[in-house]
Amino acid sequence: MSSSAAAIQPETTLSERHIRILDAAEEVFARAGFHAATMQDVAAAAGMSPGNLYRYFSSKNAIIAGMAERDRTTIAADFAALCPSRGALLDQLEEIGRKHLIRQPRDKAVIALQIWAEAARNEEMARMCAGIEETLIGGLIAALAEAKRNGELPADLDEQRFLLAISMMADGFYCRRAIEPDFDAVAGGEVLFRSMRALARAMPLPAAAAPATETQS
Amino acid sequence: MSSSAAAIQPETTLSERHIRILDAAEEVFARAGFHAATMQDVAAAAGMSPGNLYRYFSSKNAIIAGMAERDRTTIAADFAALCPSRGALLDQLEEIGRKHLIRQPRDKAVIALQIWAEAARNEEMARMCAGIEETLIGGLIAALAEAKRNGELPADLDEQRFLLAISMMADGFYCRRAIEPDFDAVAGGEVLFRSMRALARAMPLPAAAAPATETQS
């Protein structure tokens, strides 16, 4: 793990071969776990020799970085397409949530948990996760500011705290989807979306909230 | 991993020696990761021989089960102590949250993520996590029902969905605390507690909510 500093830079443009390897690796990591899986397993699943695999990805960490980069590109494109002309922002966010949290196969959540567990002990991987987070949050903050300007959301919404609340809930949704075999992703998603809509109206900036928080009970 | 079916039953009464081993194992698992850590590492950290360690815990899975059981016992005791005479339920829940999410060292979150990542691929461990969840949810549902009866919470609160929302957010909080070295646990906790209070007033049972959800935007 400690020798991964150089290897963790993701390859930027994805060839068809890169995509095939990433798909194979997702399957292998979900089944065997990131830690137990080997480059040999990934090569076999991708139908190539280990030597050939190493020409595309130098390590498991590089593969993980490639997966994360691919996901980031997709999600960033969805956030970049957020636009008032497409309807209410919260409706658009819900649709993105349905796509990435519910319609994706459960394996994606299993892999995310493997990556997070590694990131908790691996600075390089933690930095990579933070980079993804930053890209996403940046696009969302801009869209939320616009929705405040056009009156869809309350002008005093604390968008930083609102986003943190929603992101934590989405991460928790992902954890449950990965861990609980019987987890009802659709029902869980409804709770997430209802909470998002409720919190958008109930998370004002601290200055506006100050008088109310004195008597919390 | 597949040979763990019999080994994952947690030892029930904890001797001083059990506690010392669990403390040592928490440190080792947080540093090396559950998967990479060995029973030898745990024995060394606990200051005993591997042979002696095996007299207390038959496997890493048994240690994890012991850790989880210890946490469950503590949290279940805190939930069992919830009582209207101690003040508002949401204040009491916030205090339990501060204790278990914020005041616990970050290592606890790192280990939780290791366990969850394993549970995502290991049925026995998933069942263990589900058992813990059930204990906690059971106690909370009873406390929420009482708070609805005594008027602290709205009579039409959908406590199942409310709890799912809050639990997902707490899990996501744990993820972030484990992964982001700069995560501000106190600020994150405030967002969690504010969200809990807001959602307690904004998560009515579906029957009551039906007319409102037709025009979501």
| pLDDT of A160 | 93
Contact yes or no for B169 and A164 at CB 8 A = no
Whether B92 is in a domain gets the answer yes
**Chain A partners within 8 Å of B114 (Cβ):** 117, 120
DSSP string, A32-90: H-TTT--HHHHHHHHTS-HHHHHHH-SSHHHHHHHHHHHHHHHHHHHHHT--GGGS-HH
Contact yes or no for A197 and B216 at CB 8 A = yes
**Chain B partners within 8 Å of A191 (Cβ):** 161, 164-165, 168
| pLDDT of B13 | 61
The top-scoring range by mean pLDDT among B66-75, B101-110, B134-143 is B101-110
For residue A160, give the chain B residue with the closest CA. B191
Per-residue pLDDT for B2 more than 80? Answer: no
Nearest-Cα distance to chain A for B167, in Å, is 8
Per-residue pLDDT for B84 more than 50? Answer: yes
**Which of B171, B180, B186 to mutate: most A Cβ within 10 Å?**
B171
Whether A73 is in a domain gets the answer no
What is the crossing angle of helices A106-119 and A60-80, to 10°? 120
Nearest to A129 among B123, B173, B179 (CB): B179
- What residue numbers bound the domain in which A177 lies? 81-206
Assess whether A93 and A183 both reside in one domain: yes
Please report, for the domain that includes residue B168, its CATH number.
1.10.357
Mean pLDDT computed over B5-28: 74
Per-residue pLDDT for B49 more than 90? Answer: yes
Assess whether A193 and A169 both reside in one domain: yes
Nearest to A176 among B31, B171, B201 (CB): B171
Please report, for the domain that includes residue A19, its CATH number.
1.10.10.60
Give the 3-state secondary structure of residue B204: strand
Positions of chain A with pLDDT lower than 70, given as ranges: 1-13, 208-217
Contact yes or no for A110 and B120 at CB 8 A = yes
Whether A214 is in a domain gets the answer no
Assess whether A108 and A191 both reside in one domain: yes
Assess whether A199 and A99 both reside in one domain: yes
| pLDDT of A159 | 93
Contact yes or no for B118 and A33 at CB 8 A = yes
| pLDDT of B130 | 84
Assess whether A59 and A90 both reside in one domain: no
Assess whether A105 and A144 both reside in one domain: yes
Mean pLDDT computed over B165-184: 94
Residue B60 C-beta-side C-alpha neighbours within 13 Å: 20
Assess whether A94 and A116 both reside in one domain: yes
Per-residue pLDDT for B198 more than 50? Answer: yes
| pLDDT of B176 | 95
Dihedral in degrees, nearest 10, Cα atoms A120, B41, B101, B192? 20
Whether B99 is in a domain gets the answer yes
Whether B83 is in a domain gets the answer yes
Contact yes or no for A165 and B170 at CB 8 A = no
Taking residue A94's Cβ as centre, other Cβ atoms within 10 Å add up to: 20
Contact yes or no for A172 and B169 at CB 8 A = yes
Contact yes or no for B191 and A168 at CB 8 A = yes
Mean pLDDT computed over B203-214: 64
Whether A120 is in a domain gets the answer yes
Assess whether A135 and A166 both reside in one domain: yes
DSSP H helical ranges for chain B:
16-32, 39-46, 50-56, 60-80, 89-97, 106-119, 123-149, 159-179, 185-200, 206-213
Overall number of domains in chain B: 1
